[in-house]
Structure formats: C-alpha cells, structure tokens
C-alpha cells in the first residue's frame, strides 16, 4: 500500500471536499478520502486495497477510464488530464464527476481528484428544460413577439412570422419601423426611444402593421423593457385586432342602421296620409344616407304596373316618361317580382347593361339602387335612390337600404290600405253624386218639357226628341255605372285579344263616315272591356264635337308596346285641364270633379291592361283644333 508521507498531508488528503483517491498500476484503490467514501456510500476500509476504481465507474464509461489509465503509464501527456465520468454509488445513483488524474512522480500510482457535478448538472438540466419550456411557450404563443435590440429585431416567434407575412430569417436584422406604415413611423420611433430611455412598459396602443405584400393590419401593441443576452432590449408584443376592428365597425354600422331606420319609421308612422308618409321616407333616406335623388313607386292592384308616387331631385322628363312602369320589364322585374335589391354601379371593368346605362344617362347619375318594399314576402313597392358624385354604394349603405326595404314595407302597406279605403269611400260618394246630379238634371229637363207642353204647347215630334235625349243621358249613366261594377267584380285575367277586330266592331256601331281607322293586324293583352274603352272614347268625341266632327283611330307597335291614338276635330281642351279629364274624382282636393264617367272608365281600363294614358293637342300648340288621346297596350305574340 502506498504510504502517505506525514500527518499534515494525510489531514489535507482526508479533509478536502474534492473526491480523491490513489490507485496503483492495476487500478486497485490504495487510499480514498472522506469525500470519496461519502459520495459513494462506502466506508474507506471497505474500499482501500480491495476494490478497483473501475468497480465504481458506470459500465458505459469503464472502458474509457481504463484506457486512459493504461495510456497514462505509457505517455503521461497523451490522455486528457481532466474529463467527465460517471460514478455509481452504493444505492445505484449516478454521480457526474469532473475527474482530474495524474501520475505521482517516481511511482506507478495515480492520484485522482474529482468534483461532484451532479447537483450542478441537475440544476443545469432544470435550467435548460425551463429555458426550453419558456422558448416553446414564446415560440408558440398566440401573440406576436419580437425582441428588439439596438434598433434591430433579433428574435421573432411563429405568430410574428404569420402576422408580418415573412419568415424569421427575413425579419431578424430589420428595424421594427420597416414594418410600420410611413405615416405612423415618426410617432412609433418616438415611442420606442422614450420607452428605451425610461425603461418602463409602454401602455397598450393601436397601430397599423405594413406587411411586405403591402397589406395593412390593425394590431394592439405593447412594449416591455427586458434583457437579451445581457443587453438592454425591448419586447414588442402584438395582437392582430383586424377582426375586432371589423366587428366594432359592424356594430357601429348596425347602430347607424337602427338609428336611421327608427327615425324613418317614427316619422312615417306620425304622418297623416300615404303621400306625406312616402315623402318623409324618401326625404329622410336621402338626407340621412347622403343620396342625391330618389323616388318611390307603389304597385298597382293589377299586379302588372307600378306608379311613381313621390320623387326628389329626379329630372322632370324622366318622371313624366316613367310615371307608370310595367313591372314585368327589365330592370323593374328584378325588384318587383324577384323581390331582390338591384344595385347599378358604373364600376371599371364591369359597366352596367344597355338599358341600365340609358337610365343612368337619363337621371344624370353614376349609380342607382332599387330596393323592394316588402311585407310578409310580398312586394308592395320600390324605393329608388340615386348617387351622382360616386359610382358605387358601400356595403353599409346596401345593408341599411335592404333593412329599410324590409322594415317599412308593412308601414307603407297599412298606409296604402288606409288610402285605398278612403279613396273607395270618396269615389263611391262621387259616383252617387254624379248619379244624383244626372237624375236631377234629367228630371228637371223632363219637368221643363212637360210645363212647356202644358203652357204654350209644343210640337209632339220636338218634345219626343227632347225627352228621348234626356233618357239617353240617363241610359248612358246607368250603362257606365254597370260597366264600373262589372270591372270591379271581374278578376283581372287578361287574354290575347285582336285589337283590329275589336276596333272594327266598335266603329260599326256608329254612323258611317265619322270614324276612320288606320291600323293593322295586332293582338294585345286585354279582356271583354276593351270595346267599352274605344266606345267611350268615340262617344266622348262625338258628344263634345259639332255634327261635322271626325274621329281617327291609329296604332303602331314597337318593342312589345302598342301605342294607340284616338283623335278628333272637336273643340279641344285647354292645357290646364288635360291632366284631369280622365278622373271623376280629384285626388288632390279629394272631391268630385263634376265630370262624367266615360273617360274615367277609359283610364281605369288602360291601367287594368298595364298601359299609360294622356291627352295632347291634335295639332301641337293648337288646343282649340281637336284633342288627341294617346295610350299604350301590351302587345301579345301573334296567334297561329
């Protein structure tokens, strides 16, 4: 056994905290200190002279220890002097030992000194695992994280790569300001500099991020001071709030829609009559949403036409020409029949169609929209709005208009029904008034004739003619009342009718030579009352003309519309009365006009057939040289 030289060295050997042993040439342990015995869990006497050093080495490390031991005796400088090796204690627990080995001069023995690194290694592993967990947390954190050092990005997690639209290698090394829009860079630069100087967390703020693809993203950003590899740094935390901003914008849009809608409905419900209600709806829709013009059509009871009720800012010529429209024609059918909003926008690359382009030109607009006014899936009318300064409608405007169309349809329908009820009552009163006046006039005439016969005598033939004339007026009145009753009772089921045959039949019932027909074989959509229409027009011309009056009936067809003219050489009608001759009831004054029912029936029938009617001078500018009544009918395909 190798003797220790004296007590001093023995004391030093035993009390050192390092793992220490002396082994001979064959790896037998000659001496161990207290630390060696403590670490391995054996008493020194159980080790010294008995065990070999490799007995305590981990099986996987024994070959290395043994080879270094042998090599050191051949060439002391060849093997590493210090290396790490695992020892196993009595309990089977591994200890990481940083071992230093060297030969004792003049002997074949080696002295081994080791430091137990087990606790340090465990701490390092724990720290490494903690760092890995933290790094994994940072890498996979849902918020975007950047580390900013000396005006350069040195770290970016996966969320930051997705937010910025670039790989980490394209982000690291760049300035954070490179991802900020130019208009916000100055403010962001000041914020970064201020927080770096203060060393305090910056309050959360909203910014825009500019991606390499040019897309801008709304983010919520916080800047937190930190350290990175021993240097002052800033941790920039970003959260994409694009969807949140959109949601906030949508909420504001909904609130605006509700405010507009509530105001319009409130004002509409407070109106006294239908016309006032529609004017309020149109005026407030245009003013609150910033439109330049607009109009409202209401569908007629025939289900085929719609009339222009109110207009604002629309050209007079357009209002006159489109006062009544066929809702089966494009583009009105999209709104009235399909019940779908129609937005006509003059966008680059997608110009509107030919008909819609013509409408845009006529109303001097860049865009217009037709919104169905709906109640319980039934279209009762349409709201049209016009934009002249811009060529499109925003999504918010479209949503608001769609909502207005759905929500006020019921209010308008109630107004329409109330208005129809009032008009029906007033028109009935008007009919009764006409009947009363006609009967009184006829009776007065008969009484006058009777007195004349009694007092002064009167030729029998002359008296008979006067009585017959009075009776004819009464008969005509009864016939007209009967026609009105039958029109109201009969469903509006139109059929294909030969226009030329009906006209020929009606003309044959009048004295020859009075009526001239200039027409051709034509079929139209009408019913049995079509002959009453022409009979009343001819009767009216003869009634108010002199014995030499002449009547001409002509028509022409164009694009599915038959334009009919019935003109006479009678006394004509002043211009101020031309717009009122077709009604026995004045809707403006809501009173009876004291006119007969003949032309009123004509207007009712033209509207029943989906057409329009108006009166003009036979010779333009000469109101005393005859009247021309012009109306339209819908052409039917020729029957085989």
Assign residue 349 a region: left if phi > 0, alpha if psi is -120 to 50, beta otherwise? left
**Does residue 304 carry a pLDDT above 90?**
no
Nearest by Cα to 314 from 271, 359, 273: 359
Of 7-11, 82-86, 513-517, least confident by mean pLDDT is 7-11
In the three-class reduction of DSSP (H, G, I as helix; E, B as strand; rest coil), residue 168 is classed as: helix
Nearest by Cα to 635 from 499, 533, 479: 499
At 506, the pLDDT band (50, 70, 90 cuts) reads very high
**Does residue 74 carry a pLDDT above 50?**
yes
- For residue 284, what are the CA distances in angstroms to 84, 262, 292, 392, 401? 88, 11, 12, 20, 12
pLDDT at 464: 64
Higher-confidence residue: 239 or 481? 239
At 590, the pLDDT band (50, 70, 90 cuts) reads very low
Listing from the earlier edge strand, what are the strands of the sheet with 144-149?
A: 152-156, 144-149, 231-240, 216-228, 205-210
Count CB-CB contacts under 10 A for residue 70. 11
The mean per-residue pLDDT over the stretch 380-391 comes to 90
**Does residue 384 carry a pLDDT above 50?**
yes
pLDDT tens for 259-285 read 777 777 776 666 667 778 888 888 888
In the three-class reduction of DSSP (H, G, I as helix; E, B as strand; rest coil), residue 617 is classed as: strand
- For residue 55, what are the CA distances in angstroms to 79, 86, 118? 21, 12, 19
At 594, the pLDDT band (50, 70, 90 cuts) reads very low
C-alpha to C-alpha distance for 240 and 144, rounded to whole angstroms: 8
pLDDT at 615: 92
Give the percent of the chain with pLDDT over 90: 22
**Does residue 202 carry a pLDDT above 70?**
no
The mean per-residue pLDDT over the stretch 87-116 comes to 89
The mean per-residue pLDDT over the stretch 585-606 comes to 66
pLDDT at 592: 46
**Does residue 458 carry a pLDDT above 70?**
no
The rounded mean pLDDT for the chain is 82
**Does residue 559 carry a pLDDT above 70?**
yes
Of 37-46, 438-447, 492-501, least confident by mean pLDDT is 438-447
At 251, the pLDDT band (50, 70, 90 cuts) reads confident
**Does residue 244 carry a pLDDT above 80?**
yes
**Does residue 101 carry a pLDDT above 50?**
yes
C-alpha to C-alpha distance for 226 and 96, rounded to whole angstroms: 35
pLDDT tens for 604-622 read 899 888 888 999 999 998 8
Count CB-CB contacts under 10 A for residue 100. 17
The mean per-residue pLDDT over the stretch 92-117 comes to 88
Q: Peptide bond preceding 331: is omega within 30 degrees of 0, i.e. cis?
A: yes
Nearest by Cα to 296 from 257, 256, 335, 338: 335
Helix (H) or strand (E) holding 64: helix 62-74
pLDDT tens for 530-546 read 999 999 899 889 888 88
At 436, the pLDDT band (50, 70, 90 cuts) reads low
pLDDT at 148: 84
**Does residue 591 carry a pLDDT above 70?**
no
**Does residue 512 carry a pLDDT above 80?**
yes
pLDDT tens for 316-364 read 989 888 888 888 888 889 999 888 999 998 877 778 888 888 888 899 9
């Amino acid at each position: 056994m190798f003797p220790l030289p004296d007590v001093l060295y023995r004391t030093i050997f035993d009390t050192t905290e390092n793992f220490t042993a002396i082994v001979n040439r064959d790896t037998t342990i000659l001496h161990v200190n207290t630390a060696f015995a403590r670490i391995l869990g054996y008493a020194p006497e159980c080790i010294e002279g008995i065990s070999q050093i490799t007995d305590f080495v981990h099986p996987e490390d024994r070959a290395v220890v043994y080879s270094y031991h042998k090599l050191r005796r051949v060439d002391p400088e060849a093997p590493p002097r210090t290396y790490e090796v695992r020892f196993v204690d009595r309990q089977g627990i591994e200890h990481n030992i940083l071992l230093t080995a060297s030969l004792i001069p003049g002997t074949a023995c080696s002295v081994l000194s080791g430091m137990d690194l087990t606790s340090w290694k465990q701490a390092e592993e724990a720290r490494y695992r903690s760092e890995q967990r933290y790094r994994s947390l940072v890498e996979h954190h849902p918020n975007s994280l950047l580390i900013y050092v000396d005006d350069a990005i040195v770290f970016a997690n996966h969320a930051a790569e997705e937010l910025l639209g670039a790989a980490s290698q394209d982000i690291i090394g760049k300035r954070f300001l490179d991802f900020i829009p130019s208009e916000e860079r100055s403010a962001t630069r000041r914020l970064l500099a201020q927080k770096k100087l203060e060393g305090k967390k910056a309050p959360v703020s909203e910014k825009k991020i500019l991606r390499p693809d040019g897309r801008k993203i709304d983010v919520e950003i916080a800047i937190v001071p930190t350290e990175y590899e021993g240097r002052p740094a800033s941790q920039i935390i970003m959260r994409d709030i694009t969807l949140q901003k959109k949601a906030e914008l949508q909420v504001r849009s909904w609130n605006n829609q509700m405010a507009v809608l509530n105001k319009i409905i409130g004002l509409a419900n407070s109106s006294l009559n239908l016309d006032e209600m529609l004017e309020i709806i149109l005026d407030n829709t245009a003013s609150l949403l910033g439109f330049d013009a607009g109009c409202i059509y209401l569908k007629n009871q025939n289900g085929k036409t719609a009339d222009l009720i109110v207009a604002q800012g629309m050209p007079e010529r357009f209002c006159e020409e489109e006062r009544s429209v066929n809702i089966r024609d494009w583009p009105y059918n999209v709104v009235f029949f399909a019940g779908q909003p129609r937005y006509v926008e003059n966008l680059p690359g997608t110009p509107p169609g030919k008909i819609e382009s013509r409408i845009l030109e006529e109303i001097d607009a860049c865009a217009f929209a037709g919104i169905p006014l709906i109640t319980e899936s039934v279209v009762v009318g349409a709201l049209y709005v016009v934009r002249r300064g811009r060529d499109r409608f925003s999504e918010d405007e479209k949503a608001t208009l769609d909502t207005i169309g759905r929500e006020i349809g019921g209010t308008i329908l109630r107004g329409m029904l109330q208005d129809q009820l009032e008009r029906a009552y007033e028109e009935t009163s008007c009919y009764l008034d006409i009947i009363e006046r006609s009967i009184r006039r006829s009776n007065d005439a008969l009484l006058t004739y009777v007195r004349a016969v009694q007092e002064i005598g009167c030729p029998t033939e002359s008296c008979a003619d006067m009585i017959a004339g009075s009776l004819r007026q009464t008969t005509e009145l009864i016939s007209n009342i009967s026609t009105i009753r039958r029109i109201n009772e009969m469903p509006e089921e139109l059929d294909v009718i030969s226009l030329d045959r009906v006209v020929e039949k009606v003309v044959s019932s009048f004295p020859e030579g009075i009526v001239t027909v200039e027409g051709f074989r034509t079929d139209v959509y009408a019913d049995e009352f079509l002959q009453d229409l022409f009979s009343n027009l001819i009767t009216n011309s003869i009634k108010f003309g002199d014995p030499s009056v002449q009547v001409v009936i002509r028509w022409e067809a164009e694009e599915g519309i038959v334009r009919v003219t019935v003109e006479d050489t009678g006394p004509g009608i002043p211009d101020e009365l031309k717009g009122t001759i077709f009604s026995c009831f004045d809707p403006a004054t809501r009173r009876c006009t004291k006119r007969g029912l003949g032309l009123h029936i004509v207007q009712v029938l033209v509207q029943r057939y989906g057409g329009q009617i108006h009166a003009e001078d036979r010779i333009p500018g000469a109101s005393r040289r005859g009247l021309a009544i012009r109306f339209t009918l819908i052409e039917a395909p020729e029957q085989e």
